[in-house]
Structure 1
Amino acid sequence: MPKLNEYLGGLVSEIASARKMADLQTVEIAKEYAKDDLLKHFSIPRMKIGSVDLTVPFAQAGNSVKMSFKEFVYDEITTVAKEAYESAGADDDKMLKNVLAEYEYDYNKIASTIDRASLGSHTAIDEDHPLVQNKTFDELSKRIISFCSAKFEWPQNADLDLLWLSIRNRTISEYQKNTGSSMTDNDVIVEASQLMKIDPKYLIYAKMSVTESGMEWSRYEDINGNPVETLIPE
Protein backbone atom coordinates (compact mmCIF):
# COMPACT_ATOMS: atom_id res chain seq x y z
CA MET A 1 0.00 0.00 0.00
CA PRO A 2 1.26 3.49 -0.78
CA LYS A 3 1.97 6.26 1.68
CA LEU A 4 -0.33 9.26 1.39
CA ASN A 5 2.48 11.54 0.18
CA GLU A 6 3.47 8.95 -2.45
CA TYR A 7 -0.09 8.66 -3.71
CA LEU A 8 -0.73 12.41 -3.95
CA GLY A 9 2.72 12.95 -5.48
CA GLY A 10 1.91 10.29 -8.06
CA LEU A 11 -1.26 12.13 -9.05
CA VAL A 12 0.67 15.37 -9.60
CA SER A 13 3.30 13.45 -11.58
CA GLU A 14 0.58 11.98 -13.82
CA ILE A 15 -0.80 15.46 -14.50
CA ALA A 16 2.69 16.61 -15.51
CA SER A 17 3.00 13.57 -17.79
CA ALA A 18 -0.31 14.50 -19.40
CA ARG A 19 1.06 17.98 -20.18
CA LYS A 20 4.14 16.37 -21.72
CA MET A 21 2.00 14.17 -23.95
CA ALA A 22 0.01 17.24 -25.04
CA ASP A 23 3.23 19.12 -25.92
CA LEU A 24 4.54 16.17 -27.95
CA GLN A 25 1.29 16.14 -29.86
CA THR A 26 1.64 19.90 -30.43
CA VAL A 27 5.04 19.27 -32.03
CA GLU A 28 3.50 16.76 -34.43
CA ILE A 29 0.75 19.22 -35.31
CA ALA A 30 3.36 21.95 -35.90
CA LYS A 31 5.17 19.68 -38.37
CA GLU A 32 1.95 19.06 -40.30
CA TYR A 33 1.14 22.78 -40.38
CA ALA A 34 4.62 23.59 -41.68
CA LYS A 35 4.11 21.27 -44.66
CA ASP A 36 0.80 22.84 -45.70
CA ASP A 37 0.82 26.07 -47.67
CA LEU A 38 -2.30 27.39 -45.94
CA LEU A 39 -1.99 25.90 -42.44
CA LYS A 40 1.54 27.26 -42.01
CA HIS A 41 0.02 30.72 -41.69
CA PHE A 42 -2.19 29.65 -38.77
CA SER A 43 -1.18 29.60 -35.12
CA ILE A 44 -0.32 26.18 -33.75
CA PRO A 45 -3.01 24.89 -31.35
CA ARG A 46 -1.51 24.12 -27.94
CA MET A 47 -3.30 23.01 -24.80
CA LYS A 48 -2.23 24.45 -21.48
CA ILE A 49 -3.48 23.32 -18.07
CA GLY A 50 -4.79 26.22 -16.00
CA SER A 51 -5.68 24.36 -12.81
CA VAL A 52 -6.95 20.92 -11.90
CA ASP A 53 -9.21 20.45 -8.88
CA LEU A 54 -9.23 16.96 -7.41
CA THR A 55 -11.27 15.34 -4.65
CA VAL A 56 -9.36 12.21 -3.69
CA PRO A 57 -11.01 9.54 -1.47
CA PHE A 58 -8.82 7.27 0.63
CA ALA A 59 -8.85 5.37 3.91
CA GLN A 60 -6.22 4.77 6.54
CA ALA A 61 -4.90 1.24 6.27
CA GLY A 62 -4.39 -1.50 8.81
CA ASN A 63 -4.39 -0.61 12.48
CA SER A 64 -4.97 3.07 11.88
CA VAL A 65 -8.75 2.82 11.38
CA LYS A 66 -10.43 3.71 14.68
CA MET A 67 -13.90 2.56 15.72
CA SER A 68 -16.04 3.31 18.73
CA PHE A 69 -16.66 0.61 21.35
CA LYS A 70 -20.22 -0.11 20.24
CA GLU A 71 -19.10 -0.28 16.60
CA PHE A 72 -16.23 -2.74 16.98
CA VAL A 73 -18.03 -5.01 19.49
CA TYR A 74 -21.11 -5.13 17.24
CA ASP A 75 -18.82 -5.98 14.32
CA GLU A 76 -17.16 -8.74 16.35
CA ILE A 77 -20.46 -10.29 17.47
CA THR A 78 -22.04 -10.27 14.02
CA THR A 79 -18.89 -11.79 12.53
CA VAL A 80 -17.88 -14.43 15.09
CA ALA A 81 -21.43 -15.37 16.16
CA LYS A 82 -22.95 -14.90 12.71
CA GLU A 83 -25.20 -18.00 12.82
CA ALA A 84 -26.70 -17.13 16.22
CA TYR A 85 -27.00 -13.44 15.40
CA GLU A 86 -28.88 -14.08 12.16
CA SER A 87 -31.56 -15.91 14.15
CA ALA A 88 -32.29 -12.71 16.06
CA GLY A 89 -35.03 -10.35 15.01
CA ALA A 90 -34.94 -6.62 14.38
CA ASP A 91 -36.00 -5.85 17.97
CA ASP A 92 -33.14 -7.91 19.41
CA ASP A 93 -30.68 -6.20 17.07
CA LYS A 94 -31.89 -2.78 18.18
CA MET A 95 -31.65 -3.84 21.82
CA LEU A 96 -28.09 -5.11 21.25
CA LYS A 97 -27.02 -1.77 19.82
CA ASN A 98 -28.63 0.08 22.73
CA VAL A 99 -26.88 -2.15 25.28
CA LEU A 100 -23.52 -1.66 23.58
CA ALA A 101 -24.09 2.09 23.60
CA GLU A 102 -24.62 1.89 27.38
CA TYR A 103 -21.54 -0.26 27.88
CA GLU A 104 -19.49 2.26 25.91
CA TYR A 105 -19.60 4.56 28.93
CA ASP A 106 -18.08 1.78 31.07
CA TYR A 107 -15.45 1.10 28.41
CA ASN A 108 -14.43 4.76 28.27
CA LYS A 109 -14.29 4.91 32.05
CA ILE A 110 -12.04 1.83 32.21
CA ALA A 111 -9.83 3.11 29.39
CA SER A 112 -9.32 6.45 31.12
CA THR A 113 -7.92 4.73 34.23
CA ILE A 114 -5.44 2.48 32.45
CA ASP A 115 -1.76 3.30 32.85
CA ARG A 116 -0.77 3.51 29.21
CA ALA A 117 2.89 3.08 30.05
CA SER A 118 2.11 -0.44 31.28
CA LEU A 119 1.45 -1.53 27.71
CA GLY A 120 5.16 -1.33 26.92
CA SER A 121 5.93 -2.80 23.52
CA HIS A 122 3.04 -5.30 23.50
CA THR A 123 1.21 -5.33 20.19
CA ALA A 124 0.13 -8.99 20.00
CA ILE A 125 -2.79 -10.18 22.11
CA ASP A 126 -1.45 -13.09 24.18
CA GLU A 127 -1.65 -14.27 27.78
CA ASP A 128 1.37 -12.13 28.71
CA HIS A 129 -0.25 -8.92 27.52
CA PRO A 130 -0.63 -6.42 30.43
CA LEU A 131 -4.33 -5.90 29.78
CA VAL A 132 -4.87 -9.66 29.79
CA GLN A 133 -2.87 -10.13 32.99
CA ASN A 134 -4.84 -7.60 35.02
CA LYS A 135 -8.19 -8.68 33.46
CA THR A 136 -8.96 -5.09 32.50
CA PHE A 137 -11.71 -5.82 29.99
CA ASP A 138 -12.70 -9.33 31.15
CA GLU A 139 -15.77 -8.37 33.19
CA LEU A 140 -17.09 -6.00 30.54
CA SER A 141 -16.77 -8.73 27.90
CA LYS A 142 -18.58 -11.23 30.16
CA ARG A 143 -21.50 -8.83 30.58
CA ILE A 144 -21.85 -8.61 26.83
CA ILE A 145 -21.76 -12.41 26.52
CA SER A 146 -24.50 -12.72 29.17
CA PHE A 147 -26.76 -10.47 27.12
CA CYS A 148 -26.03 -12.33 23.85
CA SER A 149 -26.57 -15.76 25.38
CA ALA A 150 -29.99 -14.68 26.65
CA LYS A 151 -31.18 -12.99 23.46
CA PHE A 152 -29.83 -15.15 20.63
CA GLU A 153 -30.64 -18.74 19.67
CA TRP A 154 -27.33 -20.57 19.82
CA PRO A 155 -26.50 -23.79 17.95
CA GLN A 156 -25.76 -26.80 20.14
CA ASN A 157 -22.06 -26.67 19.26
CA ALA A 158 -21.76 -22.90 19.88
CA ASP A 159 -18.67 -21.86 21.83
CA LEU A 160 -19.51 -18.81 23.93
CA ASP A 161 -16.03 -18.84 25.46
CA LEU A 162 -14.62 -18.29 21.99
CA LEU A 163 -16.89 -15.29 21.47
CA TRP A 164 -15.92 -13.91 24.89
CA LEU A 165 -12.22 -14.28 24.06
CA SER A 166 -12.76 -12.68 20.67
CA ILE A 167 -14.56 -9.67 22.16
CA ARG A 168 -11.94 -9.25 24.89
CA ASN A 169 -9.04 -9.37 22.44
CA ARG A 170 -10.78 -7.05 19.99
CA THR A 171 -11.40 -4.59 22.82
CA ILE A 172 -7.71 -4.63 23.77
CA SER A 173 -6.68 -4.24 20.14
CA GLU A 174 -9.03 -1.32 19.52
CA TYR A 175 -7.94 0.34 22.78
CA GLN A 176 -4.35 0.25 21.53
CA LYS A 177 -5.41 1.84 18.26
CA ASN A 178 -7.23 4.65 20.03
CA THR A 179 -4.22 5.39 22.25
CA GLY A 180 -1.85 5.21 19.29
CA SER A 181 0.30 2.45 20.78
CA SER A 182 -0.14 0.18 17.78
CA MET A 183 0.16 2.83 15.07
CA THR A 184 3.04 1.70 12.86
CA ASP A 185 2.61 3.43 9.52
CA ASN A 186 0.73 5.95 7.43
CA ASP A 187 -0.26 3.63 4.61
CA VAL A 188 -3.52 4.42 2.86
CA ILE A 189 -6.06 2.44 0.89
CA VAL A 190 -6.78 4.05 -2.49
CA GLU A 191 -7.99 1.20 -4.72
CA ALA A 192 -11.63 1.69 -5.71
CA SER A 193 -12.42 -2.01 -5.19
CA GLN A 194 -11.14 -1.82 -1.60
CA LEU A 195 -12.75 1.53 -0.78
CA MET A 196 -16.15 0.17 -1.82
CA LYS A 197 -15.88 -2.43 0.97
CA ILE A 198 -15.27 0.20 3.67
CA ASP A 199 -18.01 1.97 5.58
CA PRO A 200 -18.26 5.47 3.99
CA LYS A 201 -17.95 7.15 7.39
CA TYR A 202 -14.33 5.95 7.58
CA LEU A 203 -13.38 7.46 4.22
CA ILE A 204 -11.27 10.61 4.08
CA TYR A 205 -11.49 13.08 1.22
CA ALA A 206 -8.45 15.14 0.28
CA LYS A 207 -9.14 18.18 -1.88
CA MET A 208 -6.30 19.35 -4.10
CA SER A 209 -5.94 22.20 -6.56
CA VAL A 210 -3.00 21.74 -8.94
CA THR A 211 -1.97 24.83 -10.91
CA GLU A 212 0.51 24.69 -13.74
CA SER A 213 3.67 26.77 -13.52
CA GLY A 214 5.63 25.94 -16.65
CA MET A 215 9.28 26.51 -17.51
CA GLU A 216 10.73 27.71 -20.81
CA TRP A 217 14.20 27.92 -22.30
CA SER A 218 15.84 31.32 -22.35
CA ARG A 219 18.81 31.92 -24.63
CA TYR A 220 21.32 34.76 -24.26
CA GLU A 221 25.02 35.53 -24.57
CA ASP A 222 27.33 35.98 -21.61
CA ILE A 223 29.89 38.78 -21.34
CA ASN A 224 32.30 36.71 -23.44
CA GLY A 225 29.80 36.28 -26.25
CA ASN A 226 29.18 32.60 -25.48
CA PRO A 227 25.57 31.37 -25.99
CA VAL A 228 23.85 30.32 -22.74
CA GLU A 229 20.59 28.43 -22.36
CA THR A 230 18.68 28.27 -19.09
CA LEU A 231 15.19 27.39 -17.85
CA ILE A 232 13.07 30.19 -16.41
CA PRO A 233 9.40 30.29 -15.32
CA GLU A 234 6.97 31.12 -18.11
Structure 2
Amino acid sequence: MPKLNEYLGGIVSEIASARKMADMQTVQIAKEYAQDDLLKHFSIPRMKVGTVDLTIPFATAGNSTPMIFRDFMYDEMIKVAKTDYDPSDIKSDQSLKAFIIDLEVYYNDAIKKVRDENTTTITDSQIQYFEIIPQYMREFCQSLPNFRWKQTNPEFFQQSISKRVIGEARKVIEKTEDYEIIVEASKLMELDVKCLIYAKMSVSEAGMEWSRYEDINGNIIETLIPE
Protein backbone atom coordinates (compact mmCIF):
# COMPACT_ATOMS: atom_id res chain seq x y z
CA MET A 1 0.00 0.00 0.00
CA PRO A 2 1.27 3.50 -0.80
CA LYS A 3 1.86 6.34 1.63
CA LEU A 4 -0.11 9.55 1.23
CA ASN A 5 2.84 11.66 0.11
CA GLU A 6 3.83 9.03 -2.47
CA TYR A 7 0.29 8.77 -3.83
CA LEU A 8 -0.33 12.51 -4.15
CA GLY A 9 3.16 13.04 -5.54
CA GLY A 10 2.53 10.35 -8.13
CA ILE A 11 -0.66 12.08 -9.29
CA VAL A 12 1.14 15.41 -9.73
CA SER A 13 3.96 13.62 -11.55
CA GLU A 14 1.46 12.04 -13.97
CA ILE A 15 -0.05 15.46 -14.72
CA ALA A 16 3.44 16.79 -15.51
CA SER A 17 4.04 13.78 -17.77
CA ALA A 18 0.78 14.48 -19.58
CA ARG A 19 1.96 18.04 -20.23
CA LYS A 20 5.24 16.68 -21.59
CA MET A 21 3.40 14.36 -23.97
CA ALA A 22 1.28 17.31 -25.17
CA ASP A 23 4.41 19.39 -25.81
CA MET A 24 5.99 16.56 -27.80
CA GLN A 25 2.84 16.40 -29.92
CA THR A 26 3.01 20.19 -30.38
CA VAL A 27 6.55 19.82 -31.76
CA GLN A 28 5.31 17.24 -34.27
CA ILE A 29 2.43 19.50 -35.32
CA ALA A 30 4.83 22.44 -35.71
CA LYS A 31 6.97 20.40 -38.13
CA GLU A 32 3.90 19.51 -40.17
CA TYR A 33 2.76 23.15 -40.29
CA ALA A 34 6.23 24.27 -41.39
CA GLN A 35 6.09 21.91 -44.40
CA ASP A 36 2.67 23.12 -45.60
CA ASP A 37 2.48 26.32 -47.66
CA LEU A 38 -0.81 27.39 -46.06
CA LEU A 39 -0.56 25.97 -42.53
CA LYS A 40 2.82 27.63 -41.95
CA HIS A 41 0.98 30.97 -41.70
CA PHE A 42 -1.26 29.71 -38.90
CA SER A 43 -0.45 29.73 -35.18
CA ILE A 44 0.68 26.41 -33.75
CA PRO A 45 -1.92 24.89 -31.38
CA ARG A 46 -0.45 24.20 -27.95
CA MET A 47 -2.12 22.89 -24.81
CA LYS A 48 -1.41 24.46 -21.43
CA VAL A 49 -2.58 23.17 -18.07
CA GLY A 50 -4.74 25.70 -16.27
CA THR A 51 -5.93 24.53 -12.88
CA VAL A 52 -6.78 20.90 -12.23
CA ASP A 53 -9.08 20.41 -9.24
CA LEU A 54 -8.96 16.95 -7.70
CA THR A 55 -11.02 15.29 -4.99
CA ILE A 56 -9.22 12.14 -3.93
CA PRO A 57 -10.85 9.60 -1.60
CA PHE A 58 -8.67 7.39 0.60
CA ALA A 59 -8.64 5.65 3.95
CA THR A 60 -5.85 5.16 6.45
CA ALA A 61 -4.48 1.66 6.84
CA GLY A 62 -2.47 2.27 10.00
CA ASN A 63 1.21 3.02 10.50
CA SER A 64 3.93 0.83 9.05
CA THR A 65 6.13 -1.11 11.45
CA PRO A 66 9.81 -0.08 11.36
CA MET A 67 11.84 -2.67 9.47
CA ILE A 68 14.96 -4.26 10.89
CA PHE A 69 18.26 -3.17 9.39
CA ARG A 70 18.99 -6.25 7.27
CA ASP A 71 15.53 -6.12 5.70
CA PHE A 72 15.33 -2.42 4.81
CA MET A 73 18.93 -2.31 3.62
CA TYR A 74 18.45 -5.16 1.15
CA ASP A 75 15.08 -3.71 0.12
CA GLU A 76 16.62 -0.30 -0.62
CA MET A 77 19.53 -1.81 -2.52
CA ILE A 78 17.17 -3.78 -4.79
CA LYS A 79 14.98 -0.71 -5.28
CA VAL A 80 17.88 1.55 -6.32
CA ALA A 81 19.83 -0.99 -8.37
CA LYS A 82 16.76 -2.25 -10.26
CA THR A 83 17.94 -4.28 -13.27
CA ASP A 84 21.64 -3.73 -12.52
CA TYR A 85 21.57 -6.29 -9.73
CA ASP A 86 21.05 -9.98 -10.48
CA PRO A 87 19.69 -11.78 -7.38
CA SER A 88 19.63 -15.09 -9.28
CA ASP A 89 23.38 -15.32 -8.65
CA ILE A 90 22.77 -17.17 -5.37
CA LYS A 91 26.38 -17.19 -4.20
CA SER A 92 26.84 -13.44 -4.65
CA ASP A 93 23.40 -12.68 -3.25
CA GLN A 94 24.09 -14.68 -0.09
CA SER A 95 27.44 -12.94 0.22
CA LEU A 96 25.66 -9.57 0.08
CA LYS A 97 23.08 -10.58 2.70
CA ALA A 98 25.85 -11.81 5.01
CA PHE A 99 27.67 -8.50 4.58
CA ILE A 100 24.51 -6.57 5.41
CA ILE A 101 24.14 -8.58 8.62
CA ASP A 102 27.71 -7.59 9.52
CA LEU A 103 26.86 -3.93 8.81
CA GLU A 104 23.99 -4.14 11.29
CA VAL A 105 26.54 -3.83 14.09
CA TYR A 106 27.48 -0.33 12.89
CA TYR A 107 23.81 0.65 12.68
CA ASN A 108 23.00 -0.57 16.18
CA ASP A 109 26.11 1.16 17.51
CA ALA A 110 25.05 4.45 15.90
CA ILE A 111 21.55 4.13 17.35
CA LYS A 112 23.05 3.53 20.79
CA LYS A 113 25.28 6.61 20.50
CA VAL A 114 22.27 8.79 19.66
CA ARG A 115 20.26 7.37 22.55
CA ASP A 116 23.16 7.86 24.96
CA GLU A 117 23.21 11.54 24.05
CA ASN A 118 19.54 11.69 25.09
CA THR A 119 18.25 13.72 22.12
CA THR A 120 14.67 13.50 20.90
CA THR A 121 15.71 13.96 17.27
CA ILE A 122 18.71 12.97 15.18
CA THR A 123 20.84 16.09 14.84
CA ASP A 124 23.08 17.00 11.92
CA SER A 125 26.17 16.11 13.95
CA GLN A 126 24.69 12.71 14.85
CA ILE A 127 24.09 11.83 11.20
CA GLN A 128 27.84 11.27 10.86
CA TYR A 129 27.48 8.20 13.11
CA PHE A 130 25.68 6.47 10.23
CA GLU A 131 27.83 7.72 7.32
CA ILE A 132 30.16 4.72 7.29
CA ILE A 133 27.25 2.37 6.45
CA PRO A 134 26.35 3.67 2.94
CA GLN A 135 30.06 4.03 2.17
CA TYR A 136 30.81 0.40 3.05
CA MET A 137 27.65 -0.73 1.26
CA ARG A 138 28.68 1.00 -1.95
CA GLU A 139 32.23 -0.35 -1.83
CA PHE A 140 31.06 -3.91 -1.26
CA CYS A 141 28.42 -3.75 -4.01
CA GLN A 142 31.04 -2.48 -6.44
CA SER A 143 33.03 -5.66 -5.77
CA LEU A 144 30.10 -7.96 -6.56
CA PRO A 145 30.19 -9.76 -9.94
CA ASN A 146 26.39 -9.68 -10.23
CA PHE A 147 26.16 -5.86 -9.95
CA ARG A 148 26.67 -4.30 -13.39
CA TRP A 149 26.42 -0.52 -12.64
CA LYS A 150 25.11 0.29 -16.11
CA GLN A 151 22.13 2.43 -15.09
CA THR A 152 22.98 2.97 -11.42
CA ASN A 153 25.24 5.87 -10.52
CA PRO A 154 27.50 4.94 -7.54
CA GLU A 155 27.10 8.40 -5.96
CA PHE A 156 23.32 8.27 -6.28
CA PHE A 157 23.37 4.72 -4.90
CA GLN A 158 25.29 5.81 -1.80
CA GLN A 159 23.04 8.84 -1.27
CA SER A 160 19.90 6.70 -1.53
CA ILE A 161 21.26 4.18 0.98
CA SER A 162 22.21 7.02 3.34
CA LYS A 163 18.75 8.60 3.06
CA ARG A 164 17.04 5.27 3.83
CA VAL A 165 19.31 4.56 6.80
CA ILE A 166 18.67 7.98 8.34
CA GLY A 167 14.96 7.71 7.63
CA GLU A 168 14.67 4.34 9.36
CA ALA A 169 16.82 5.54 12.25
CA ARG A 170 14.50 8.51 12.76
CA LYS A 171 11.55 6.13 13.11
CA VAL A 172 13.41 4.41 15.95
CA ILE A 173 14.74 7.51 17.70
CA GLU A 174 11.99 10.01 17.03
CA LYS A 175 9.11 7.51 17.11
CA THR A 176 7.76 8.93 13.85
CA GLU A 177 4.78 7.20 12.29
CA ASP A 178 4.60 6.48 8.58
CA TYR A 179 0.95 5.91 7.69
CA GLU A 180 -0.07 3.87 4.68
CA ILE A 181 -3.35 4.51 2.87
CA ILE A 182 -5.95 2.54 0.95
CA VAL A 183 -6.74 3.99 -2.49
CA GLU A 184 -8.06 1.04 -4.52
CA ALA A 185 -11.70 1.67 -5.48
CA SER A 186 -12.73 -1.94 -4.79
CA LYS A 187 -11.36 -1.78 -1.23
CA LEU A 188 -12.79 1.68 -0.53
CA MET A 189 -16.26 0.47 -1.56
CA GLU A 190 -16.07 -2.21 1.11
CA LEU A 191 -15.49 0.36 3.87
CA ASP A 192 -18.02 2.37 5.82
CA VAL A 193 -18.35 5.83 4.28
CA LYS A 194 -17.44 7.30 7.68
CA CYS A 195 -13.95 5.84 7.29
CA LEU A 196 -13.25 7.71 4.05
CA ILE A 197 -11.10 10.83 3.91
CA TYR A 198 -11.26 13.24 0.98
CA ALA A 199 -8.21 15.20 -0.06
CA LYS A 200 -9.01 18.27 -2.16
CA MET A 201 -6.09 19.44 -4.25
CA SER A 202 -5.67 22.06 -6.97
CA VAL A 203 -2.74 21.73 -9.36
CA SER A 204 -1.78 24.77 -11.43
CA GLU A 205 0.93 25.04 -14.05
CA ALA A 206 3.96 27.25 -13.44
CA GLY A 207 6.12 26.64 -16.49
CA MET A 208 9.78 27.45 -17.01
CA GLU A 209 11.50 28.39 -20.26
CA TRP A 210 15.10 28.74 -21.34
CA SER A 211 16.47 32.27 -21.57
CA ARG A 212 19.66 33.02 -23.48
CA TYR A 213 21.68 36.21 -23.01
CA GLU A 214 25.22 37.56 -23.24
CA ASP A 215 27.02 38.80 -20.11
CA ILE A 216 29.44 41.75 -19.92
CA ASN A 217 32.36 39.46 -20.79
CA GLY A 218 30.71 38.22 -23.97
CA ASN A 219 29.85 34.79 -22.56
CA ILE A 220 26.55 33.23 -23.63
CA ILE A 221 24.48 32.36 -20.56
CA GLU A 222 21.48 30.02 -20.65
CA THR A 223 19.15 29.86 -17.67
CA LEU A 224 15.60 28.80 -16.80
CA ILE A 225 13.11 31.55 -15.97
CA PRO A 226 9.33 31.51 -15.29
CA GLU A 227 7.20 31.81 -18.41
- TM norm structure 1: 0.48
Greater Rg over alpha carbons, structure: 1
Give TM-score, length-normalised by structure 2.
0.49
